Amino acid sequence: MSEFLARTLYNSLLPAVAGAARISALFLPKMREALDGRRGFRARWRRCAETLTAQPIWFHVSSVGEFEQARPVISALHKRSPDVPVVLTFSSPSGYDFAMRRERVDGSTNIRFIDYLPADFATNMRFCLDCVRPRILVLVKFDLWPNLIWQTHGRGIPIVLIDATLSPTSKRLSGAGRFFYRSIYRSIDRILAISESDAARFAESVEKSRVGVSGDTRFDRVMERWEQRTEIGFSLDGNGPVIVAGSTWPADERVILSPLARLMKDNDSIRLILAPHEPLPGRVNDLVDWANTEGLSVSRASDGKASRVLIIDTIGILAEVYRLGDVAYIGGSFSTGVHSVIEPAIAGLPVVFGPVHENSFEALRLIEEGAGFVARNEREAGDHLSRLTADEAARRAAGENARAYVASQIGATEKCVAIIEEWL
């Protein structure tokens, strides 16, 4: 009864949500790009159906971060079951664009098809399932499209959710959210959580036998990219300490830019890399203007020129950029929540972030390990960055603790693959 009611409510509201998305696309470029990218999907999926030589594993992810979590699992499956193809779908333009730039679909890997997931109408989901006939659907983290899940489950196709996380403050745990998502979780065959506490929260809605703990494959992916040692093709002037401010939002920049400018004026050996979370031309230009106003030499990564301040104006390379750094500031922590601290940690960088970091289990662990430092305001941000750039011994010790923590978390990929292989 609960699933029937949840389906009825969801599908009755879905046309209105789709209409609102079309209206918002008139004003929001990313929404417009997402809708444009989905046009003509039926022809693409039919062509995919014609090229598949075996039933695929269907991976669905939201964006770049979730794809990076899925990638080591896809790689491991390729090694162990090379004849099983992979179909990969995205929710967001940034994730889709990232994969299209970095992945090959020419048969050299197991990824044979990449596309947006169409709007979550039941008819669309039935069409996609008819085309690719997946042997299993693998979802990542928390991007759960109800009709995709219900339609897949109704056909008896197994569904596995990997890297599953459920915050104790999530609206999915109370009231209408709990009622609605319980009907979705109960259609998922296995939920592999990143921690014991996340698993316990999922077990409030589904049988405990369906829930397990695998750890977080982000650690495996970060290690995989670290070992690849990809060249990024740009450099900085000088040879002093490098601060990397990664995935920053305007709220972060309002806090850190002033202390960064003072620090760089007081110590002319310090260099800075700024990587805005969304490197849109306007955001990049604002950061270039800031550096010019402060009298700091500046260039964009795409320029290929060396300077004291480097602005990253593309996405997908931040993991490699951290190789150039000595200290990292991670954005998002003065707004919705801190972004990934794992990438700078594996590079051996002590990590500074703002007060909004409860969303990140690994940020909390880095604080415990003496490798993460919380800045609640502009003064504290300046103090942490000044101390870590001036004290090489303290910086190295914190960086070694950060790297050791990441290394201790490796292994989630094998646990996820073992579960998926039960249905291959």
By the 10 Å C-beta count (0-12 exposed, 13-18 middle, 19+ buried), 25 is classed as: middle
Tell me the pLDDT tens digit for each residue of 20-33.
999 998 988 889 99
The residue that leads in pLDDT, 314 or 235, is: 314
- The CATH code of the domain at 2-216+411-423 is 3.40.50.11720
Range 253-273 average pLDDT: 96
**Percent over 90 (pLDDT), the chain:** 76
Is residue 249 over pLDDT 90? Answer: yes
Which residue is associated with the tokens 């740009």?
A: 234
List of residues 6+ apart from 51 with CB closer than 8 A? 112, 113
Is residue 286 over pLDDT 90? Answer: yes
Residue 118 pLDDT grade (very low, low, confident, very high; cuts 50, 70, 90): very high
Query: Lowest mean pLDDT: which of 72-86, 96-110, 113-127, 181-195?
Result: 96-110
Is residue 18 over pLDDT 70? Answer: yes
pLDDT at 241: 95
Task: State the architecture of 231-408 in CATH terms.
Answer: 3-Layer(aba) Sandwich (3.40)
**Angle formed by the axes of helices 412-420 and 64-80, nearest 10°:** 60
Tokens of 147: 């009709």
Is residue 102 over pLDDT 60? Answer: yes
Residues of the chain with CATH 3.40.50.2000: 231-408
278 phi and psi, to 5 degrees?
-120, 95
Is residue 90 over pLDDT 90? Answer: yes
3-state secondary structure of 374: strand
Tokens of 232: 């990024």
By the 10 Å C-beta count (0-12 exposed, 13-18 middle, 19+ buried), 108 is classed as: exposed
**Do you know the residue count of the chain?**
424
Enclosing H/E stretch for 212: strand 211-213
Tell me the pLDDT tens digit for each residue of 33-71.
999 999 999 999 999 999 998 999 999 999 988 999 999
pLDDT at 358: 85
pLDDT at 1: 47
Average confidence score pLDDT of the chain:
93
Tell me the pLDDT tens digit for each residue of 193-233.
999 999 999 998 889 999 999 999 999 988 888 887 777 77
The residue that leads in pLDDT, 73 or 358, is: 73
Tell me the pLDDT tens digit for each residue of 126-183.
999 999 999 999 999 988 999 999 999 999 999 999 999 988 888 888 888 888 898 8
Range 368-392 average pLDDT: 96
Tokens of 41: 């999907």
Residues of the chain with CATH 3.40.50.11720: 2-216+411-423
